[in-house]
């Protein structure tokens, strides 16, 4: 199953029929995906399931209907085990951004973290999950697929937000502060913390 956020509302691409009742269920063969997305943007639908026996087929169809933006981002820990967040558009987020032509996605993720926060000395520890969300820019709907990586950094300076990207603040938070921070974040960011174990202080070596 894939979880795609449309205007921060969940659209599940599933090969199973759920017994829940607080959503609308659509069959891939009989729904205009673009119209479904428009209705979710208009707040006419708050939660939806899109069904097909092969959920990969649903994702393939979605990608064929909506242009894809590939991005890389980082869940970054410092030597104290604190987590790096950025504040933009009134919400806490994690640093991420789109790939450049021919760029490896791991390089994208590290470059974007450094550009958006000023934090360097980064090393990727492991690959995390991908997140999916649909946004609208200049009247065009796009599917952003973000590849996330857990990173560690020995950076000890003061992070600086990338102003031309609208980043107002950059801050490190202790793990016990994260649940409060996530109350004012995005659903796909919350998903990362649901799936990943809470970080512990890491040895810098």
Whole-model pTM above 0.95?
no
Residue 181 is inside which H or E element, if any? helix 178-182
Contact 4, 62 (CB under 8 A): yes
The Cα–Cα gap between 108 and 149 comes to: 11
Q: Where are the beta strands (DSSP E) in the chain?
A: 2-6, 9-14, 24-27, 48-51, 68-77, 83-88, 91-93, 96-98, 122-137, 140-153, 167-173
8 A C-beta contact, residue 117 and residue 170: yes
The whole-number average pLDDT for the span 160-186 is 95
Where exactly are the structural domains of the chain? Answer: 2-65, 69-195
Question: How sure is the predictor about 199, in pLDDT bands with cuts at 50, 70 and 90?
Answer: very low
- CATH second-level architecture of 69-195? Alpha-Beta Complex (3.90)
Q: How far apart are CA 30 and CA 107, in angstroms?
A: 40
pLDDT, residue 21, reads 67
31-72 pLDDT, tens digit each: 999 999 999 999 999 999 999 999 999 999 999 999 999 999
Q: Roughly what angle, to the nearest 10 degrees, separates helices 55-65 and 33-41? A: 80
């Amino acid at each position: 199953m894939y979880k795609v956020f449309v205007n921060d509302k969940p659209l599940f691409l599933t090969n199973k029929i759920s017994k829940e009742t607080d959503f609308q269920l659509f069959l891939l063969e009989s729904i205009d995906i673009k119209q479904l997305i428009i209705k979710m943007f208009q707040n006419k639908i708050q939660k939806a399931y899109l069904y097909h026996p092969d959920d990969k087929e649903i994702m393939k169809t979605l990608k064929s209907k909506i242009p894809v933006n590939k991005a890389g981002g980082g869940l970054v820990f410092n030597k104290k085990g604190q987590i790096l967040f950025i504040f933009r558009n009134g919400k806490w987020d994690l640093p991420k951004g789109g790939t450049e032509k021919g760029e490896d996605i791991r390089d994208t993720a590290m470059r974007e973290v450094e550009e958006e926060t000023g934090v360097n000395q980064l090393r990727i520890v492991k690959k995390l999950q991908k997140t999916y969300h649909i946004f609208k820019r200049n009247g065009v709907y796009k599917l952003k697929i973000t590849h996330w990586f857990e990173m560690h950094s020995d950076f000890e300076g003061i992070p600086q937000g990338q102003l031309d990207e609208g980043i107002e603040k950059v801050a490190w938070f202790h793990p016990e502060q994260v649940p409060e921070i996530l109350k004012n974040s995005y659903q796909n960011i919350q998903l990362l913390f649901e799936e990943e174990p809470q970080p512990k202080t890491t040895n810098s070596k």
